[in-house]
Structures are given as structure tokens and as C-alpha cells.
Amino acid sequence: MSKSVIDLPPKGGFSFDLCRRNDMLSKKGLKSPSFLKTGTTIVGLIFQDGVILGADTRATEGPIVADKNCEKIHYMAPNIYCCGAGTAADTEAVTDMVSSQLQLHRYHTGRESRVVTALTLLKKHLFNYQGYVQAALVLGGVDCTGAHLHTIYPHGSTDTLPFATMGSGSLAAMAMFESKYKEGLTRDEGVKLVCEAICAGIFNDLGSGSNVDVCVITKGHKEYLRNHLLPNPRTYVNPNGFTFSKKTEVLLTKITPLKEKVEVIEGDAMEE
Amino acid sequence: MGDSQYSFSLTTFSPSGKLVQIEHALTAVGSGQTSLGIKAANGVVIATEKKLPSILVEESSVQKIQTLTPNIGVVYSGMGPDFRVLVRKSRKQAEQYHRLYKEPIPVTQLVRETAAVMQEFTQSGGVRPFGVSLLVAGFDDKGPQLYQVDPSGSYFSWKASAMGKNVSNAKTFLEKRYTDDMELDDAVHTAILTLKEGFEGQISGKNIEIGIIGADKKFRVLSPAEIDDYLAEVE
């Protein structure tokens, strides 16, 4: 008897077996659970020494804010970071997976990962799933060929740009970029512009909010500025907490102790 | 004996209870270049001879000691190509563990999974066992560790061990020299002296390879210049 040494590769793609059942259930009135989306404003721009990425920190589930301070800038490689918009689970899973693949690639080649490698791995995966993996990404990094910034759409198409925005707040952020971006920005100018763009998204888009995360990547060095700006602090918290006034008058107090209905006897273990 | 009649098929036991192919694999390991490992109080060192078949071979392109994870390294004795395959598989397993549990893989787990792969190839049809023994050096929460994995898939944790051509002399030397409270630098010196014992020709930074992992939990292979420094200290 020989064990099968080769693992059969999984067939890939989604199984749509339950679609008919889900359809039938929703016709009967069952509301399907909504998934956690990241609403989001994510941006990236290229400045003179490298790339700056920015993101807001609000995760929404329909009209509710599910996470007031989530992390949307994901680690891909020491020199490559990726902002994710769309379904939070999809962006996290996809960036995690490609980050793992990049690590293995680094071990095998002994070289620093290139941004185009991450780009190609991501777009191949997303195209494979024909847009069902709802992850819209802004990928940026600095490698041996220079600084690169790309956007990746859920269906698998990509763009290479000097500045980019994605997410529900992308129009507000793009307005800031289009009016204020110029080539050869310094680090401080770049960070300021990124913060302005994210704040435009935070204040003008319902799906984005809370704080600003920034990541600055240059040759051989990166700075992950978590919560670089906190433009939405909790302004007032009552130190006394909440008090609820008593509405019902107490007329009678009677306490009846519970009677034990079951007697516990120490016995032998159950016979088989 | 009747053993030779059973040496063709891997998956058949011989009358004496041995799997003859695995014995042959161990012989292949025993004729490979010497490698050894020493566990110090604050780190682990692994080393190997790097005898190239000719002076024309580009020596910087040959790397016998490989990194599996940032805190685990490995060296081998035996067949180089088999080693490459195992390193690839182990790296992938370490990454999969990390993806699943979001923690760096503990040394024992990685050794167990690598040994499981090697064992699979001793119980399947149409394949042969790996012709390598591995010395895995790592530093995790349980401290510095050194493991040896054999072609059969069995693994042991060692304080110091050697494999390959000069194994008996090397082990005797290590038994005499090993102390429990050795520091990493002393361990490197001992490793170099052990390699020197059975070395043919002039030992230098270009024909041995040394990998160390210290309390910083980062495995790295020493450069030829660093090895030459250690050699000078030992002289």
C-alpha cells in the first residue's frame, strides 16, 4: 500500500453549489449577512526619494462602523506595502498570501523582492477569481529598479501611476492630488499632501473616517506611521458614566431560595 | 546474507528487520563531506567542508548552509540535489505554518515536518529515500537547539554532532571538547578545530562554511573574511 506522495492541487475558484439555496432563502425573506467592507480612502504618491502610502482607518458593515481604527496598509515585503479597499477579509487574505509567496521567492533567489513581482502575483490571483475577490489595492514600494506605485482593480487590471487613490473616498482624495501634486516633492511635502487627501476622504465620505495612517518607503528604509493624524478624537466623556433613573416603585420584596430537584450521589463509572 | 536479495525494493523489509535501501542511503551520507554542529549556551553553530571538484568552480556560487526561516538554518552531508529539494519543501512548510498560526515556526515543528517528508519517501512506491542527513540549527523561545535528521526520517536533538566522512574522529573530538557552558565564540573555535582534524590540505575561509545563530535569533552564514578572522584566532 503506497501513500500518495503528491497532493492533488485544489481545483481552485469558488464553488457555487449553495447559490440556489441562498436564492430560495432570500425569496423567503431571510436577510443574508452583510460583509465587512472598508468603505475607505486609500492613496499613494511617488515623491523624490520613494513612495508614500496613506489610508483612513474606518471599517464599515453597512451603516455601522465596525472598526474605528483598523489597519489598511498591509505589509508585503520589507520594501513593499499595499493599501487595501473593498471587502476587508479579501484584502487581508490576498495580501497575506502574496506576502508569503514573496518571502519564499526571496529565499529561493536571495534577492530583494520587486514591486512588479508583487503586482503580477496579485493580479493573477484576482483575475483567476473573476472579480469575486473584492479587493482594490494600491501597491507601492522601492526596489532595485526604483520607486513604483500601482493600482489593482478587483477584476485584475492594473495601472502604473505617479499618484493614485482608491475606495469610496477616492474622488475627494483625487481632487486634492490633482490640484496640489507636482513632481519632485520632498518627504514632508509628500506626507502633508497625503494627509490632506485622506482627510478630504475622511470628512467628505461616509465610508471613511477616524484616523490617518501613513507609510513612507525609500531605498533601504521604511517608516510605518500608524495613526499619524488623529483628526477625530472623542471630545467629551462623562467621568460619572451613565445613570439610569428608577422608573418603577418597589412595593414588596420576597426572596424564595431555589430547591434542589436533583440529588447528586457519588457512584461508579458507567458500565459499558 | 539473505539481505542482498531484499536490497532492490525500498518498501520490503529484509529478514533481519532492516530496510536495506535506508542503510544504503546512510552509506551515501557517510561518504559525503564532513559537517558538524555544536550547541552553545547562547547560540548554535553549524559548519561544513566546502571541497569543490575543481579550482575552476565559482566558489561564491556554492552555498551549502541555507536559511530556512530567519531563525533556523540547516547544513547537510550527502547529495546536494536532494538537499535542495528538502530545503524548498521545508521553507514552504515554515511559511504555511506562519500563515496559519501567525507565529514563527518552532524549531521542533519544522524538524518534525521535514522528517515526515523524508519518511514519506521511505514508504512510497517508485521513489527512493533522500541521500542526505540534515543538521538543523535554530533559536526560538525554548532556546538554542540542534537537530539531526536522517534519511529514514528519524531525528534527534544533539548537544554536538557530526556527519559525513570523518564522523567517528569528529565525534570523539567533540565529546572531549564539549562543555555545557560553552559560549558561541568558543563553539565556533571548537567547530573549526574539529573540521581541521580531518581536513586534507590548507583550511581557509574559502573552503569551509560556517553558519551561526546567537541570542539575537537571526541565523546568518559567515563571510569568508569573518571565517579567516576566526581561523587566525584559532592558530
- Give the full edge-to-edge strand order of the sheet including A42-47: A163-166, A42-47, A50-56, A212-218, A221-229
Closest residue in chain A to residue B95, using alpha carbons only: A100
Look up residue B216 and give its amino acid.
Answer: D
Q: How far is CA A235 from the centre of its chain?
A: 27
Of A31 and B77, the one with more pLDDT: B77
Euclidean distance between CA atoms B137 and B71, whole angstroms: 8
Q: Are A51 and A147 in contact (CB under 8 A)?
A: yes
Q: What is the mean pLDDT of residues B115-130?
A: 91
> Taking the CA of residue A39 as centre, how many other CA atoms within 13 Å lie in the half-sphere pointing to its CB?
27
pLDDT-derived band at B3 (thresholds 50, 70, 90) equals low
Residues in chain A within 8 Å Cβ distance of B123? 2-3
The pLDDT of residue B133 is 96
Cβ-Cβ pairs closer than 8 A, A with B, add up to 26
Rg (CA), chain B: 18
pLDDT surpasses 50 at B159: yes
Task: Write out chain B residues lying below 8 Å of A5, CB-based.
Answer: 120-121, 124, 127
Chain A contact present for B124, CB below 8 A: yes
Per-residue pLDDT, averaged over B23-27, amounts to 92
Residue A179 forms contact with B (CB below 8 Å): no
| pLDDT tier at A11, thresholds 50, 70, 90 | low
Phi, psi of A211 (to 5 degrees): -105, 175
CA distance linking residue A218 with residue A80, whole number of Å: 10
State the Cα–Cα distance between residues B2 and B76, nearest whole angstrom.
32
Element (DSSP H or E) covering residue B30 = helix B20-30
Angle (CA) A241-A242-A245 rounded to 5° is 145
- A206 vs B: CB within 8 A: no
Give the gyration radius of chain A's Cα atoms.
26
Find which of B87, B90, B99 to mutate to test the A interface (most A CBs within 10 Å of its CB): B99
Catalytic residues of A: 40
Q: What is the DSSP string of B77-137?
A: EE-HHHHHHHHHHHHHHHHHHHHHHSSPPPHHHHHHHHHHHHHHTTSSTT----SEEEEEE
Task: For an interface test with A, give the residue of B123, B219, B220 to mutate (most A CBs within 10 A).
Answer: B123
Q: Is A104 on the interface with B (CB under 8 A)?
A: yes
State the Cα–Cα distance between residues B192 and B207, nearest whole angstrom: 12
A103 at interface of B, judged by CB pairs closer than 8 A: yes
Closest CA to A36 of A63, A5, A56, A61: A61
The H or E element containing residue A26 is helix A19-27
Res A114 pLDDT > 70: yes
CA distance to partner chain A, nearest, from residue B227 (Å): 21
pTM listed for this prediction: 0.80
Q: Is A193 left (phi over 0), alpha (psi -120 to 50) or beta?
A: alpha
Predicted pLDDT at B65: 95
Instruction: Yes or no: say if B26 and B78 are a contact pair by the CB < 8 Å rule.
Output: no
Question: What integer pLDDT is reported at residue B166 of this predicted model?
Answer: 85
Give me the sheet containing A158-160, strands edge to edge: A73-77, A80-86, A135-143, A146-152, A158-160
For residue B162, name the pLDDT band (cuts at 50, 70, 90).
very high
Q: In the Cβ-directed half-sphere of B66, how many Cα atoms lie within 13 Å?
A: 23
Answer whether A108 touches B (CB < 8 Å).
yes
Determine whether the interchain pair A107/B67 forms a contact, defined as Cβ–Cβ distance below 8 Å: yes
Between residues B142 and A8, the one the model is more confident about? B142
Which of A110-114, A140-144, B57-61 bottoms out in mean pLDDT, i.e. has the lowest? B57-61
Q: How far is B170 from chain A (nearest CA, A)?
A: 31
pLDDT tens column, B170-217: 999 999 999 989 999 999 999 999 999 888 888 888 889 999 999 999
Note the pLDDT of residue A37.
59
Say whether pLDDT at A2 is over 50: no
Q: What is the pLDDT of residue B8?
A: 66
How many CB atoms neighbour CB B125 within 10 A? Answer: 12
- Nearest residue of A to residue B73 by CA position? A107
* Position B52 pLDDT exceeds 70: yes
Q: What is the pLDDT of residues A177-196, one digit of tens each?
A: 999 999 999 999 999 999 99
Comparison of pLDDT for B2 and A119, the residue scoring more? A119
Instruction: Give yes or no for a contact between B217 and B42, defined as CB atoms under 8 angstroms apart.
Output: no
Q: Does B154 touch chain A (CB under 8 A)?
A: no
What is the distance in angstroms between the Cα of A12 and the nearest Cα belonging to chain B? 18
CB contact under 8 A, B123 and A104: no
DSSP lists the bridge partners of residue A138 as A83, A151
- The set of cell numbers assigned to A114 is 520587486
Q: What is the ipTM of this complex?
A: 0.82
Residue range B40-53: average pLDDT? 93
Please answer yes or no on whether B123 and A3 come within 8 Å at the CB atom.
Answer: yes
Give the CB-side neighbour count of residue B225, counting CA atoms within 13 A. Answer: 0
The grid coordinates listed for A30 are: 431571510
**pLDDT for residue A194:** 95
Q: Is B62 on the interface with A (CB under 8 A)?
A: no
Residue A149 cell numbers, joined:
506605485
Query: pLDDT averaged over chain A?
Result: 88
Backbone torsion region of residue B88, taken as left when φ is above 0, otherwise alpha when ψ lies between -120 and 50, otherwise beta: alpha
Residue A93 above 80 pLDDT? yes
Task: Give chain A positions within 8 Å (CB) of B120.
Answer: 3, 5
Least confident of A65-74, A226-235, B208-217: A226-235
Q: Hey, is A56 helix, strand or coil?
A: strand
Mean pLDDT on B12-21? 86
**Percent with pLDDT over 90 in chain B:** 74
Asked if A97 and B99 come within 8 Å (Cβ–Cβ), the reply is yes
Lowest mean pLDDT among A19-33, B53-67, B144-158: A19-33
Query: Is A210's pLDDT higher than 50?
Result: yes
- Is the pLDDT at A227 greater than 50, yes or no? yes
Mean of pLDDT values over A247-261: 86
Q: What's the pLDDT score for residue B116?
A: 96
Residue A5, pLDDT above cutoff 80: no
User: d(Cα B67, Cα A229) in Å, to the nearest integer?
Assistant: 39
B173: contact with A, CB 8 A cutoff:
no
Q: Which of B92, B120, B127 sits opposite A104 (nearest CB)?
A: B92
Measure the CA–CA gap between B208 and B186, rounded to whole angstroms: 17
**From CA B18, how far away is CA B15, in angstroms rounded?**
7
Asked if A213 and A227 touch (Cβ cutoff 8 Å), the reply is yes
Residue A114 CB neighbours (<10 A)? 19
